[in-house]
Structure 1
């Protein structure tokens, strides 16, 4: 029997994703994610926040770099990975990360606009109503069913 390594988190980004390009054009992003639990103890409301290190690779990293930014609410699925490295003083350190397989942006629709993307001039941008109107004007005879 094999084990299960599955993580599901819903939280807010603690900072903008850090984007790196590795050899061969592979994109990797990482960012901290805050999850907060609320509970009561002795009649007092307690709020406890945990911080998680999230890593995304390749195509998922490209999407995250474009759309995610500090403060956004996201749902993340992935797995835990622990890796080791040597710090500047030569000491072996360990870090546990959530390697994301999937994510969904949550919150208001306006929150899910691409991060820091320039907007086209108003007179050159097609309006959604015009596009939908053109599609609907084709008539029922053009439908494949």
Structure 2
């Protein structure tokens, strides 16, 4: 049996990176996925002509090479696909309350769009090319 998760969505915030004492690079980011909201008959709900969506947020954790690539190239709002595994954690907080968490450990992150800074850079280059006489 295999623990396999594939998610495609929008990055919620700029990824955060840290390193362990042993030098392992860890990058984390949030990913939003959406699906249409449905009524009791299974029909897609609409408000003002637009479909209503349920959004779920996922914590994505990357290690080493994937962490480095994500830290360097992924930005808030970018569309990415994550392939990895689901990981559950349990801990006791400072007030002695047992807490639970879930995260996706990413094996691969595929870019489905450029980040905003790359899109702006490409747009500037396209505009600069308009000034070149032929």
Taking structure 1 as the reference length, what is the TM-score of the superposition?
Answer: 0.68
2:81 maps to: 75
Give the deviation of 1:46 after TM superposition.
2.0
- One of 31, 38, 51 as aligned partner of 2:36: 38
- RMSD, matched Cα: 1.9
In 1, Cα distance between equivalents of 2:67 and 2:83: 14
In 2, Cα distance between equivalents of 1:30 and 1:107: 19
- One of 86, 95, 98 as aligned partner of 2:92: 86
Gaps of 5+ in 1: 114-145
Gaps of 5+ in 2: 119-134
Matches within 5 A, 1:1-145: 3-39=1-37, 41=39, 44=46, 45-108=51-114, 111=116, 113=118
Moved more, 88-97 or 66-75: 88-97
Bigger-Rg structure (1/2)? 1
Whether the 8 Å CA contact 1:20–1:27 is kept in 2: the answer is yes
SS in 2 for 1:23: coil
- What count of residue pairs does the alignment treat as equivalent? 110
4+ runs of 1 displaced by more than 3 Å? 39-43, 110-113
Taking structure 2 as the reference length, what is the TM-score of the superposition?
Answer: 0.74
